[in-house]
């Protein structure tokens, strides 16, 4: 039995959810999102809760059970509160600047790195070494943060690079004489 899958997804007030045509649609104060439904899992919407159960006892349906419940929970969380990732830039001369739907990064290369912000996300740079990524889709927020981090991963000797806020960088000791 899936511990995650057994819990019903509660729908808060101000959020509406509908299940029809192989899709679940969730609308809330921050926007609307949809998720395609999987045949291996059955869905029931009743009393302001969505219950997810496996359709049969196959290994595949049990594998999808907890994952589908988590994806539905992410839809509800996204349209109510949204998701945020914060990146911190460490290094001399490394900086970021958000200009509308563009993010300009200076990371020690001979050129600036210009990234287009995907639709549905907002990027803010309160200072030159911090990047906040906001959005209602958890996957898009995480993917864009990973793409930014990919340009300069933190290195273990001086800790220079782009890291997530709260991420621990294992530090190595340099050469000894």
CATH number at 138 reads 3.90.930.12
Residue 123 and residue 88 share a domain: yes
* Final residue in a domain of this structure, among 33, 60, 80: 80
Dihedral, CA of residue 29, residue 49, residue 68 and residue 40, to nearest 10: -140
For position 144, what pLDDT does the model report? 97
Per-residue pLDDT tens over the stretch 132-146: 999 999 999 999 999
For position 1, what pLDDT does the model report? 66
Q: State the pTM of this model.
A: 0.90
Q: Is residue 124 part of a domain?
A: yes
C-alpha distances (whole Å) from 111 to each of 11, 127, 152, 159 are: 47, 21, 14, 22
Cβ atoms of 29 and 14 closer than 8 Å: yes
Q: What is the mean pLDDT of the chain?
A: 93
For position 3, what pLDDT does the model report? 82
For position 108, what pLDDT does the model report? 92
Domain range for 23 is 3-80
* Final residue in a domain of this structure, among 63, 80, 97: 80
Average pLDDT over residues 115-141: 96
For position 76, what pLDDT does the model report? 95
């Amino acid at each position: 039995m899936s511990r995650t899958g057994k819990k019903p997804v509660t729908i808060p007030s101000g959020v509406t959810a509908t299940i029809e045509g192989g899709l679940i649609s969730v609308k809330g104060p921050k926007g609307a999102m949809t998720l395609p439904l999987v045949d291996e899992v059955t869905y029931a919407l009743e009393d302001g809760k969505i219950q997810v159960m496996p359709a049969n006892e196959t290994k595949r349906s049990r594998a999808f059970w907890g994952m589908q419940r988590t994806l539905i929970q992410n839809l509800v969380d996204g349209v109510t509160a949204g998701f945020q990732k914060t990146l911190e830039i460490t290094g001399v001369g490394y900086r970021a600047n958000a200009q509308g739907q563009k993010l300009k990064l200076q990371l020690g290369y001979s050129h600036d790195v210009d990234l287009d912000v995907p639709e549905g996300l907002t990027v803010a740079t309160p200072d030159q070494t911090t990047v906040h990524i906001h959005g209602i889709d958890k996957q898009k927020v995480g993917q864009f943060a990973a793409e930014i981090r990919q340009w300069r991963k933190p290195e273990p000797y001086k800790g220079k690079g782009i890291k997530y806020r709260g991420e621990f960088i294992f530090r190595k000791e340099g050469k000894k004489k």
